[in-house]
Amino acid sequence: MILLSPRNQLIASLCLAGFGLTLFFGNSFRDWDMPLDWIGTFLFVAAVWFFVDAVHRIPHSEAELAIAPQEWQAWVGLAFCSACLVAIWTSLPAFAAPVSIRENPEAGAAGRSIGMLFVAWAVLAHVLNQRWAGTVIFDERDRAIEKRASTWGRAATTAAVICIAVLLGFSPTERLQMLSYPWIAQLLMSTLLVGMWFDNAVAALLYWRERRQLDSP
């Protein structure tokens, strides 16, 4: 893969990462008698390795330089928060069984998928920071934007917690007995993610709006 041009290597490693994640997440392959989740993880890690190499070799384009490093991070964070929220909400039925996650293979697989998304996010954020190694990636303007975004993130977390409190507080007892602890744990996780989603979304929006104003005459 090293023999490819950086741009082609980037595309190839993204395809490899996608294939690795498909093997990891793909429930339809679970019947195969192979450790596909481990093979998927290995492919994903290998793809990230080649991705980092390609990222280092590609020169910065003018379009890329127009966007602040923290804006890139905000957009990436927004994408991963959205993916994690979708993964949590779509997998909620798997956590409904009143047994611990260890005794529930379906919930375990869903939990691993969500965990993998967090790992992928951390890896990509690190790769992006490496891309700007040696230059300033965070300054007082970023801090001001982060402060405004955090206010929204905190407000969203508070609102989500109040929603859960009201939901649990006003639900009939017989309905509450149907909710398992893993299900409530997932609900709490999604509360945190809602806060992070707003944090990243507002930051990305503020950067984008400012950039648009700078571009306009």
Partner 1 sequence: MAAPLTITNHIRRFRFDRGEMTQQALADACGVTRQTIIALEARRYAPSLELGFRIAHALDATLEEIFQWQAPT
Question: Which residues contact partner 1 by CB under 8 A?
Answer: 65-71, 135-142, 210-211, 213-214
Q: Which of 70, 113 has the CB closer to partner 1?
A: 70
Minimal distance, residue 214 CB to partner 1, in Å: 5
Q: Which of 194, 204 has the CB closer to partner 1?
A: 204
If one counts every other C-beta atom within 10 angstroms of the C-beta of residue 163, the result is: 13
- Cα(112)–Cα(114) distance, integer angstroms: 5
- Cα(110)–Cα(8) distance, integer angstroms: 32
Minimal distance, residue 113 CB to partner 1, in Å: 35
If one counts every other C-beta atom within 10 angstroms of the C-beta of residue 33, the result is: 5
Q: Which of 172, 217 has the CB closer to partner 1?
A: 217
Minimal distance, residue 120 CB to partner 1, in Å: 26
The token duo for 8 is 């082609």
Name, in order, each residue with C-beta under 8 angstroms of 17's C-beta and a sequence gap of 6 or more: 43, 44, 47, 48, 51
Minimal distance, residue 124 CB to partner 1, in Å: 20
CA distances from 111 to 55, 76, 90, 175 (A): 30, 21, 12, 24
**DSSP state for residue 26 in the 8-state scheme:** -
Q: Which of 37, 142 has the CB closer to partner 1?
A: 142
- Cα(55)–Cα(128) distance, integer angstroms: 8
Minimal distance, residue 133 CB to partner 1, in Å: 14
Q: Helix 69-90 vs helix 181-215: angle between axes, to the nearest 10 degrees? A: 150
Minimal distance, residue 153 CB to partner 1, in Å: 22
Q: Which of 19, 75 has the CB closer to partner 1?
A: 75
Q: Is 113 exposed, middle or buried (0-12, 13-18, 19+ CB in 10 A)?
A: buried
Q: Which of 71, 146 has the CB closer to partner 1?
A: 71
